[in-house]
Amino acid sequence: MTNSNQQQILFGTRAVLEAVIAGRPLQRIYIQNQLQNPLTEELKTKARELQIPIQKVQRDFFDRFKDKNHQGVMAEAASVEYHDIENIVRSTFEAGRLPLLLILDHIVDVRNFGAICRTAEITGVDAIIIPADGAAKINEDAVKTSAGALNHIKLCRSQSLIQTLVYLKESGVKIISASEKASKYIYDVEMNDPIAIMMGSEEKGISRVLLKYTDELVKIPQYGQIESLNVSVACGILLYECIRQRHHL
């Protein structure tokens, strides 16, 4: 963690807690192991309610910040605002529109993430859902790579992608997952429905446990020698097929 991207860091339990209470977007909160007091416990509770990731760290993590009154607690201010997926789904349906959502299962490359966000914004995606942990860092580099799209598209953090998938399915949203192992092509699946397209990580693809919640598993036609497309390119192809079907192009 560096200050190379001018990302603001907050130090001290009270300062971080007040930022959480005020609704300030935070990327992550760092708390020293074994640190227990009423104020810290209140911070943990409120952070979990708002799905702000908490990372437990060793005491030496704070050695580089000896000149700061950190009290064993610090936080990174987020470069973007995070939204609640339930509010987005509800408001989209109330507006008479079919939700188009994007779920990214632990995509870690900032360039891939930025490119996906750029395409998602252009194609009218209502929200992008990412896991609270283990995903690309949403910093100024990500905003720059997205060509500013992250300033416009709604981003949602999920403490449990499984629970999010269950909620979406119960809300009538069809889950479409991309995999080269699928038997159906993207052109053979109806996308003129409430849809959430799920894309997997660069190395492992979509995790098996998440695939269990998929309604349709689809693949993109490939005729060359390389095994698979870059995830940002594959995501763009799926999104534009959805747009083609929805707008009868």
Q: Which residues contact 76 (CB under 8 A, 6 or more apart)?
A: 1, 7, 8, 9, 10, 26, 27, 28
207, 105 contact by CB (below 8 A): yes
* CATH code linked to domain 9-77: 3.30.1330.30
Q: What is the mean pLDDT of residues 201-222?
A: 92
The pLDDT of residue 6 is above 70:
no
| Residue 74: C-alpha distances to residues 19, 20, 49, 66 (Å) | 11, 12, 18, 12
The first and second tokens of residue 56, run together, are 């437990």
What pLDDT shows up at residue 7? 56
Q: What percent of the chain has pLDDT over 90?
A: 59
The first and second tokens of residue 80, run together, are 């973007």
The helix-helix angle for 161-170 and 85-94 (nearest 10°) equals: 20
> What is the helix (H) or strand (E) element at residue 122, kind and residue range?
helix 110-122
Beta strands 174-178 and 195-199 are parallel
Per residue in 164-206, pLDDT (tens digit) is: 999 999 999 999 999 888 999 999 999 999 999 999 987 888 9
What pLDDT shows up at residue 88? 97
What pLDDT shows up at residue 139? 67
Quick check: pTM over 0.85?
Answer: no
CATH 3.30.1330.30 domain position(s) in the chain: 9-77
213-216-220-223 Cα dihedral, nearest 10 degrees: 100
How many other β-carbons are positioned within 10 Å of the β-carbon of residue 225? 5
The pLDDT of residue 3 is above 70:
no
Looking at domain 85-246, what is its CATH homologous superfamily? Answer: SPOUT methyltransferase, trefoil knot domain (3.40.1280.10)
The pLDDT of residue 76 is above 50:
yes
Q: What is the mean pLDDT of residues 199-225?
A: 91
What pLDDT shows up at residue 53? 86
What pLDDT shows up at residue 192? 93
CA 37, CA 206: separation in Å to the nearest integer? 39
The pLDDT of residue 41 is above 50:
yes
